[in-house]
Amino acid sequence: MGQVPWARAAAGANTYDQQAHAVLPTIYERVGATTAARDGINLGQGFPDHDGPAWMRQLAAEAITTDHGPTNQYPPGAGFPDFRQAVAAHQRRHYGLDLDPTTQVLYCTGATEGIAASILAFARPGSEVLSFEPFYDSYGAMVSLAGAHLRTIPLRAPDFRPDVEALIARLTDQTSMILLNSPHNPTGTVFTRGELEAIIHATRAHDVVIMCDEVYEHLVFDDAGVSHTPILTIPGALQVAVAVSSAGKAFSFTGWKTGWITASCELVNRVRGVKQFLTFTANPAYQYAVTAGLHDDRGFYAHNRQHLHQTRDLLAAGLTELGFTTYTPQAGYFILADTRELTDLTAAEYSQKLIDDAGVGTIPVSALTHPSTQDDPHDELNYLLRFAFCKHPTTLTTALTRLQKVLD
C-alpha cells in the first residue's frame, strides 16, 4: 500500500494487486482527495451534489429523534421485516417478480457490501471469476481478497455491448462466479433479455454463481429505447443468481448506504453467512425512510431520470465541443470520453493533467480494468475518461469552462 501514494490520483493504478492479493486505496478516493486538495470539481466519483426527496430525509430524521421503533439500536441482521417486505413489494410492482421477504431478501450496507459478501461467499480460493471490463473497482478487489483470479472480457466502443459468446467460451471447471452489472458502470449499457438468457443458460451447465449488480435500475433514459431486465426474471436464474441493488442511486442518497440482496433462500443464506461478519447490520433510520420510498417513490424516479437526462446531454455536448469523442450512455451517471483526438497521453496521465491544470477530477477507465489491459498501450480502454453528470448544471458548466481554458 505504501508504494502507491494517494497523490498519484490519476496514475491509473488498479484498486487491487492480482499477484499479491493486496488491495490499494480506491481510485475514487485518490481522485477525490487530489481534486479536493486543489479546490477542484470532482466529476470522477458518482455522487450527486444535491440531495434526494425532502420527505424521505424528514422520515429519517424523525426516526432518529422520536420513539418510532428501535431506530437507534441494532436492527435485525437481515434488515427490518418492513424493509424486506418493501423490497419484495417493489420487485413485484415493477417487474412482476414474487419473492419471499423473509427468506429471499437481505439488507446490506449499500450495494458495495452486498457485492463483497456475495463474492466472498461464492468465489472459491484459486478459482476463476469472469467479468466484463471495465468494471466497478470493488469487483477486482474482492475477488483478490477471496483468493480467486479475475478474468475479463472487454466491452468495446461505440456501443459497449457484451460479447456473450466470448464470456461463455471462457467458462471452465475452474470458474466459480460470473460478475454482471446491468445497467453497466461505467459504460451505461443495459443488457438485453436475450443476452442475460444466454448467460443463464450456459451457466446452469456449470457449478457457477452469477452476481448481478443492478444499482442503476431506475436510471434508464427514455431515449435509450430499452428497459432494465432484472436477472431474477430470467427463467432458471433463481437457482444460480444473486441480485444486488441499492437506494443510493435510485433516490440520490449515496451516503445512506442502504442496499439489498435478492436470491433464492439457499443463496441468500450463504451470503448472509459472510455479511454477518462484515457490518452485521446498520442504518436503521435509513431503512425506515427507504421502506417508505420503495412503497411509493412519489414520482421521484421519473423526475430524477429527467434531470439526469438533461445533465447528460449538457455534459456530452460540452465535451464534444472541446474535442473529446463521447459515447452516450443508455443509463446511469457517467459519460465515457475518448481522449485520443486531444492528446498522446494515456487517459490515466491526462486525468492527472486535468486535475493539476483545470482542477477537474475524472476517472481513467484503465483503473477499472484488468492489469493486463493496462499493460497494452494499444487498448482503447486506456484512452477513455469517465465523467460523472449527476451534478447540478452550474457545476457542469463551471467544469467545462475550466477545461476549455486548459485546452485553449
pLDDT of amino acid 26: 86
Q: Which residue has the cell 496521465?
A: 349
pLDDT tens-place string over residues 335-348: 999 999 999 999 99
- Helix (H), strand (E) at residue 116: helix 110-122
What is the pTM for the complete model shown?
Answer: 0.93
CA atoms of 325 and 331, how far apart (whole Å): 18
In three-state secondary structure terms, 98 is: coil
**Would you place residue 9 in the very low, low, confident or very high pLDDT band (cuts 50, 70, 90)?**
very low
| Among 114, 86, 151, residue whose Cα is nearest residue 274 | 114
Q: Which residue has the cell 460479447?
A: 163
pLDDT of amino acid 15: 61
Angle, to 10 degrees, between the axis of helix 393-407 and the axis of helix 300-322?
10
pLDDT of amino acid 8: 36
pLDDT of amino acid 3: 29
- Stronger pLDDT, 259 or 204, i.e. the higher one: 259
Pairing assessment for the beta strands 105-108 and 363-364 based on DSSP bridges: unpaired
**Would you place residue 14 in the very low, low, confident or very high pLDDT band (cuts 50, 70, 90)?**
low
- Name every residue whose Cβ is closer than 8 Å to that of residue 125 and which is 6 or more positions away in sequence: 146, 147, 148
